Amino acid sequence: MTGAKAYGGLDSEGFHLPWHSAENDAWVTNDVKPATSEQRELLFSKMKEAGYEWAADALELKKIKPKFWSDNKSNTFGGFYIDICSEISEIVKVPNTETNYDVFATEKQTKSALAMSRISQIIANDIANFGGVITDEGWNNDEWKFVIYRNGSCICKTAIIHDYHFLAFYTEKQRDLFLKIYPQLVKDYLMI
């Protein structure tokens, strides 16, 4: 018998029962009884917990492919987004699809994204005062960069060489001037 499925099991005392071919008529003895609906539910629940499901058409167990929240298009969520006038707006329930990936979970994160956008434009366009954006090449060199970062709920300043920070400047003077002129943008970006 090529391709035939056969089943066997243990009796109530733990002894191996003879195999049964799926092509023959089903057999029942006093020791073997069909599962109750509660037993079936428990079995399928335990199989699911172990990462398997029953494929009835193939009469076999199949490994369940894990589904992550971001892959599940049936999920919905709410949050905040930046509208066309750079205002922060709240949205209650939208589907988990690519068209809604610009919705942030919290208002604080949305403010941070808006501040990040504004900061990037200021640094890139006010080169006389802030030196421009540090490029990948700049991050790879061995020169000091002067950064603003968050430690707990405090705004901190330091000098680093390679560790990337968004709020980074070529000179200490540029960094300190930016913090002096735009303290609220820095707070919003750092979510303080």
Q: Whole-model pTM?
A: 0.62
- The domain ranges of the chain are 6-63, 70-105, 107-190
Distance CA 174, CA 130 (A): 5
Question: pLDDT digit string (tens) for 102-159?
Answer: 888 899 999 999 999 999 999 999 999 999 999 999 999 999 999 999 999 999 999 9
Residue 64 contacts residue 51 (beta carbons within 8 Å): yes
Question: pLDDT digit string (tens) for 13-67?
Answer: 555 555 555 555 555 555 666 778 888 888 888 888 888 888 878 778 888 777 6
If phi > 0 it is left, if psi is from -120 to 50 it is alpha, else beta; for residue 46 that is alpha
In the numeric block, the tokens 């994204």 are attached to 113
Q: Which run of H or of E encompasses 93?
A: strand 88-95
User: Which residues touch 79 (CB under 8 Å, ≥6 apart)?
Assistant: 90, 91, 103, 104, 105, 106, 110
